[in-house]
Amino acid sequence: MNPKENYLHEFFRIFFANKQLVKRIFLTFAVIALLLPLLLKQSFDITAQVIVQSKKLSQGDATTSLTVDNATFIPPSLADMETESNILRSPALIRQTISELRDKGQYNPPPGMLSKLAGEPFKRYVSTPLREYLVNPLRDALGMETDPVRDTALDGLTQDAIDNLKIETLPGSNVISIVYSFPDPAQGTTFVATLLRNYLVDRQALQSIELPHSFYETKKHQYQVRLDGLEGARLSLLETVGSSDPKEEITFRLNAINTEEQALNLYRDRLLQSQRWLDYLKASLAAANTNKLNDYTFPFTFTTTVDNIAFEDREIRQMGEQLTTQVSRYMNDLAVFQPGSEPMLLAREQIARTRQQFLKVVNNRIQERAIDLSVVSQVIEQKTARIAEFKNRIHQLQQTQSKLRQMDTEIGALHAAFSTYAQRFAESSTTRALDNDLSNARVLSPPYEPTEAAFPKPLLIIPFGLFTGLLLAIAFVYVREFFDHRFKHPAQISHELGLPVLLVLNEETPQAGNPHKHWTMPRLVHWVRN
């Protein structure tokens, strides 16, 4: 079999032929792997988690408080989670957090980080004093706009925090993971805790509709001024119309109109009735004046019926009976005496005198009826005028009531608007007192100070360093062997030159042992060299 086809034999031949080089490369990488955990700067990972719960949306009107009965919940979308992540990683929030901690003396980066920040471009850090003490005074003297002087150290710390802060949403969940790498675990934990607190405060300020207390006081003053104006206008309107309650007065006036109209109808019926009876009495009186002596009856008794009770005129009745008696006696005496006799003449004179008295009394009664008719007409006119006055008053009150209704509507709307604002302000104050209870973001896992550094990890660096050194040493000697074209064993001569090998001489020089004692530095150095 061709020796070159025995790859395992070839591998061990090359390996043991260059074992000294492999040993040195491997030991070099071993030393580097052992020194890396000591030389590399430690970095601690401070972790925290934020959960974004379902969003609460009110389903009531503007005057309804935010309760369970009129609210619905919707889960956060991917856009919501990305928005929350962007708020957490915003440079303004990180800069604010670092500035607060620096003012309190709780954020002091180690010297290694400061030296790294000092390695930024010269114009960023060195040019600041130049701009502050030379360029800006010159520009100010020339009337030009000066450049603002920034806190470059704070800018560098902010950028370094942004680079070392890893914020991402856990796949398929509504949890945001926060990982911050920092050399000092205590300061890093304080930074993450302050960052989360500022995040919740800024987030509540972004999503809240609350307004400052000064704005509430301004709204309250405007409400009071407007309410005083409306109440004053309402009072002036009531004073102008002379009524304290137009609605009640309208009801009273309507009842009065109803009563007056009923009485007016009765008086109109009475007027019609009295007019007809008066005409009849006048016609009867005219006929009685022309009647003969023996026509002693009058076709009316002057009887008045009140509540189904008849009241007769006693004087008319007595005189009518007397006249009837005289006429009856005269007619009886006429059959005995001569018409021209003295008794008959006396009887006729007595009948005529009684008749004149009777007609005079009847005439007086007719005059009374005429006067009563005139009084009824005046009463009808007075009641008609009173009803018209009542109607005009009702029309005036209705106009006033319409204006008052408009004012009451505006006052009610003003009350409702201010009540709604006051309720929201009270809810907002209660929300602040309850530590932002309406916020749907919560700190699921607060940051804690780690006890073990996340980088470097000796248990990973040393084994991987040793394994990498061994692989690189083997790869290096194989590359070296590939470019080395010298003959290493007799088979190469036959294969390359086609000549037979007659004799092979092996070196029989024994390898000297290590003369140094075990587990000593000279023995290790001798082993590395040989």
Residue 22 and residue 64 in one domain = no
Residue 490 and residue 391 in one domain = no
Residue 401 and residue 307 in one domain = yes
Residue 284 and residue 364 in one domain = yes
Residue 60 and residue 34 in one domain = no
Distance CA 199, CA 178 (A): 12
**pLDDT given for residue 322 in this prediction:** 86
Nearest by Cα to 45 from 169, 164, 198: 164
Residue 48 and residue 102 in one domain = yes
**pLDDT given for residue 117 in this prediction:** 43
Which positions ≥6 away from 4 have C-beta within 8 Å?
A: 10, 491, 495
What is 384-446 written as a DSSP string? HHHHHHHHHHHHHHHHHHHHHHHHHHHHHHHHHHHHHHHHHHHHHHHHHHTTSTT--EEEEE-
**pLDDT given for residue 428 in this prediction:** 61
CATH code of the domain in which 360 resides:
1.10.287
181: helix, strand or coil: strand
**pLDDT given for residue 120 in this prediction:** 45
Nearest by Cα to 201 from 77, 97, 75, 105: 97
Q: Which residue has the tokens 């000593």?
A: 520
**pLDDT given for residue 3 in this prediction:** 47
**pLDDT given for residue 30 in this prediction:** 82
Nearest by Cα to 87 from 477, 496, 516, 441: 441
Domain stops at, among 207, 233, 260: 207
Which positions ≥6 away from 275 have C-beta within 8 Å?
A: 373
Residue 16 and residue 99 in one domain = no
- Structural domain span for residue 102: 44-207
297 lies in some domain: yes
Distance CA 115, CA 120 (A): 9
**Contact (Cβ atoms closer than 8 angstroms) between residue 178 and residue 53:** no
* pTM, to two decimals: 0.47
231 lies in some domain: no
Task: Please give the structure tokens belonging to residue 149.
Answer: 């002087």
Residue 281 and residue 381 in one domain = yes
Residue 376 and residue 340 in one domain = yes
Residue 32 and residue 58 in one domain = no
226 lies in some domain: no
E strand or H helix that includes residue 309: strand 309-311
Number of domains in the chain: 3
What are the 10-residue block averages of pLDDT along the chain, 530 residues in total?
60 75 81 78 86 68 46 78 88 90 82 47 46 64 60 81 91 90 88 90 69 71 85 88 87 92 92 90 85 72 73 81 85 82 86 87 90 93 93 91 89 84 67 54 84 75 82 83 74 77 70 66 66
Distance CA 382, CA 264 (A): 9
Residue 268 and residue 333 in one domain = yes
223 lies in some domain: no
The dihedral sign for the CA sequence 193, 194, 197, 203: negative
**Contact (Cβ atoms closer than 8 angstroms) between residue 469 and residue 29:** yes
- 8, 205, 222, 434, 442 from 195: Cα distances, Å: 60, 15, 40, 20, 13
**pLDDT given for residue 66 in this prediction:** 43
First to last CA, the chain: 34
